[in-house]
Amino acid sequence: MEEQIIENLDQQKEEPNYYKRDGKKEEFAIVLDYLPYGYPLENKMLPIAQAIGLRNLTLLQLVPRRGLTFELKERVYIGEGKREKVLYILGRLPREKLTETAKIQLAEVIQKVVSDNEPVFVEFFNKSQPMNTRLHQLELLPGFGKKHMKAVLDEREKSNFISFQDIHDRVDGLPDPKKSIEKRIMEELMEIQRQNLFIA
């Protein structure tokens, strides 16, 4: 992970907790790409930042205040108070509009989000539930099948997992739990899913 994202995310210290599916609006976002002249094929010449909100992992389009620009991976305030750099939120960012630059930055940001919020995502392994009689939430993780699901459930009956490393150590043959979470979040952001686990 590049040092720049760590510096930008650490500029405003607060307890990291990006995964909050609590219905509250986004307050901060990370800039994934900045298009000073807008989208080439739309001929609107409206500067646009493609960004992701840090509370609900919502893809957003931001318009800067006149004369201001955004840097990649910059953390910006988008809440209801006074916004220093954001004039207004244009709306949700359609996944098909994501630029190649934004896609690259998005993958790196998601890695950072999962690392910073390890206890939150580990809790998914402790509390995940069956979706129906045939499918469990754990089976929606890339690389996880029924054998892996059963092994995780058996282990968590003994005691809760406390870290990604704890999961890895206690469940033989399990795909990397951290990478599986990251891949699932990317899938939910990039493609329409029948069931979302992590994206509001």
pLDDT at 12: 36
Is the pLDDT confidence value at 184 over 80? yes
- Which pLDDT tens digit goes with each residue over 125-177? 999 999 999 999 999 999 999 999 999 999 999 999 999 999 999 999 999 99
Please say whether the dihedral angle defined by the alpha carbons of residues 137, 141, 144 and 150, taken in this order, is positive or negative. Answer: negative
CA distances, 87 to each of 35, 69, 78, 81 (Å): 15, 11, 9, 12
Is CATH 3.40.50.1970 the classification given to domain 3-97?
no
DSSP-H helix ranges across 41-161: 100-116, 118-127, 146-158
For residue 3, name the pLDDT band (cuts at 50, 70, 90): very low
For residue 17, name the pLDDT band (cuts at 50, 70, 90): very low
pTM of the predicted model, to two decimals?
Answer: 0.84
Is the pLDDT confidence value at 15 over 70? no
Question: Which sequence spans correspond to the domains of the chain?
Answer: 3-97, 118-190
- What is the arithmetic mean of pLDDT over 188-197? 93
**Sequence-separated (6 or more) residues with CB below 8 Å from residue 189:** 52, 57, 59, 95, 106, 110, 199
Is the pLDDT confidence value at 2 over 60? no
Fold annotation for 118-190: DNA polymerase; domain 1 (1.10.150)
pLDDT at 28: 96
Is the pLDDT confidence value at 91 over 50? yes
72 and 104 in contact (C-beta within 8 Å)?
A: no
